[in-house]
Structure 1
Amino acid sequence: MEFQPIKVATGSSDEEGRLVLLDGRLIAVIVRLDDEAHGAARGQWSLEAGFNGVDSVKPPLFANLQSAERWIEMQIV
């Protein structure tokens, strides 16, 4: 699994993102929550978009990229 840095136009200060690739295919987009409005969730990563089974009705939050990777792996099994 590969995490490629990218800026995401979210309309807020939450711009730091990662394209999540598996075997060269885009399977998710995650964004680091940086806006003060996120309160205690600030600094965590959020699933913005998921593809081919990597999705959720309530987007999960991840403390770090390793946590995001573990969750994504469980979705694609």
Structure 2
Amino acid sequence: MAKVDPELFQAPERECTFCGMALEDIKIIIEHLNICSHPSCFKCGKCSAPLGDLEAGDNLWIHSRIVHCEECYDKLLED
């Protein structure tokens, strides 16, 4: 009987896209944009407003591969 290496079943350790520190239990992942983030590091790409309090199902605004808060996204639509 062959032995299975338990490391094969562990998810690779990821680093925060923004601060570079290791991610632990709570994280925000947007695979389409290759973003892995601590909630405290996840911010609007325009005004740096914190966005880390988002929950599953909440709205997120993305334009030109940049995450925006609702206010900054609305400004884009006005221009």
Q: Which has the larger radius of gyration?
A: 2
Structure 2 length normalisation: TM-score? 0.26
For CA contacts below 8 A with separation 6 or more, give which structure has more relative contact order: 1
Which has a greater percent of strand? 1
Structure 1 length normalisation: TM-score? 0.26
